[in-house]
Amino acid sequence: MQNHQHAENLAPAVELLPDILWIVESTSQISYSNRHWLDFAGISEQNPTSKLTFPPMSATHVSDYNLVLSLWKDALQTKQPFNAEVRLLKNDGNYVWHLMRACPNLKSGNWLVICTEIHSLKTVQSMFQLVLDNIPISIFWKDRDSKYLGCNQLFANDMGSKTTTALLGKSDYDTASSKEQCEFFIACDQKVMESGAAEYHIIEPQTRANGKQAWLDTSKIPLHDAGGKVVGLLGVYEDITERVTVDHQRDDFIATLTHDLKNPLLGTNRVLDLFLDGQLGQCDDNQQKIISQIKDSNDALIGMIENLLLVYKGESQALLMGSEKIDLCEMLERMIKRNEINAKQKESNLTLSKLTDQALIDGKNHSIERVVQNLLDNAFKFTGRNGNISVTLERVGDNYQITVADDGPGIKQEDQEKLFNRFWQGTPGKKYTHGTGLGLYLCKQIVEAHQGKITCQSEPANGTKFIVTLPQRSQSET
């Protein structure tokens, strides 16, 4: 009688609510239902709550029933309210999503349960989650404390979770990743959120739930609320484990190449030098010439190996780390002196013209020397006997310009456009280079890493000029 009287007192107000409302006794009996529920479920006004217990099994989706029942049993024990998203059966035979909120009335011992329709919102969320789950990259988002707020299924799979909701409220420390990895992840999170600036292409390791280590290419973007305040971050990553594995295999190949090819050639050259110096017996002119030719061939092969190693090691990507002051005047003088013997053996005329007394740049000395040596090697290769090779240094505006010119056969215009391509060795039937096709490619990589430019000027039968332009050292640093 008391419950019915209480319901009658509530009726004038609750009948106006667009939500479902129940009064539930501690015995789980639903003692009152408002008009919205009756209309929603298509229940007659006569005995609308007879034999209806909470949660109503016949009106609750089978996938949601056990969840609500478990929450209800716990609530009866703890007297604490609870929320749940459930699907309730409408009189047209369709299930509609509702947010169910249950609160106890400690004085009466009854519970007030209100169900607010969220079907449209839930449908949009489900479609959004479906889209995320079909994107072929891992996606997650976190709050300011680096706790997970959501993710797509691919990320959940990486974490060893069957559902995207299992990670909600957890941090990286709750995953299989090592402590060091977790500290790195969270440090990156905080940097992004504190600075408000995105971080792209963070290469990082991740230990998976199966114990295997993966490598990730991660980008993290700060999330702002309507007022512009950073409230979390969005993270996306691509699994690049296979790529990293290939890189490691390449590095192993490079190490083998260095040891098995270059070192024996250097050893052979040392023996040939002993013959040329007469330390292993006197050689006549013809023998000296043959030994010199063998040594030249070895030197050419060593140069090819070094070019190959430099390109595959990606050395040109880090050329300016620990950069130093370079005086191009002194460097070119050393290069000319170093190549005097080569010019004599080729019977070529090698000259240096310096149109400036000092030419200071920032960079790596051995890398710029590699560029000049590659250009000189090409000039010697194609100039032939009695040819002329000139190296000119001059200042052009805020830059210094090195020109290596020869009077060789020249290069066709259509081939000049491909000279700096990786592995390109010339038009079929008429090669302009011999070897790996990496020398000029490497030159371009080195020069551009120094914020410079390399170009070619040539016409068939009129020789070739390679022009290297490098920015001068800042006046404040000189």
Tell me phi and psi for residue 221, to 5 degrees. Answer: -125, 130
Query: What is the pTM (predicted TM-score) of this model?
Result: 0.43
More confident residue, 365 or 202: 202
E strand segments, 346-428 = 349-354, 360-363, 388-396, 399-406, 426-427
CB 326 within 8 A of CB 363: yes
pLDDT digits (tens, 9 = 90+) for 134-177: 888 999 999 999 999 999 999 999 999 888 888 999 999 999 88
- Does position 20 have pLDDT exceeding 90, yes or no? yes
SS3 at position 385? coil
Q: Give residues with Cβ within 8 angstroms of 48, minimum separation 6.
A: 33, 37, 38
What's residue 122's pLDDT? 76
pLDDT digits (tens, 9 = 90+) for 56-84: 999 999 999 999 999 999 999 999 999 99
**Cβ neighbour number for residue 48 with a 10 Å cutoff:** 16
Nearest to 399 by CA among 460, 467, 318: 467
What's residue 429's pLDDT? 38
Q: How far apart are CA 249 and CA 200, in angstroms?
A: 26
What's residue 2's pLDDT? 41
- The stretch 106-128 carries a mean pLDDT of 85
- The stretch 369-386 carries a mean pLDDT of 87
Q: How far apart are CA 113 and CA 54, in angstroms?
A: 10
- Does position 99 have pLDDT exceeding 90, yes or no? yes
- Does position 427 have pLDDT exceeding 70, yes or no? no
What's residue 477's pLDDT? 54
Tokens of 451: 């914020």
Tell me phi and psi for residue 132, to 5 degrees. Answer: -60, -40
Angle, CA of 262, 376 and 463, to the nearest 5°: 140
What does each C-alpha distance from 451 to 125, 375, 468 come to in angstroms?
A: 49, 19, 11
Amino acid at position 384, single letter: G
What's residue 127's pLDDT? 77
- The stretch 260-279 carries a mean pLDDT of 82
Amino acid at position 214, single letter: A
Angular region, 329: left φ>0, alpha ψ -120 to 50, beta rest: alpha
Q: Would you give the DSSP letter of residue 110?
A: -
Q: How far apart are CA 312 and CA 294, in angstroms?
A: 27
Confidence of residue 386 (pLDDT cuts 50, 70, 90): confident
Amino acid at position 63, single letter: S
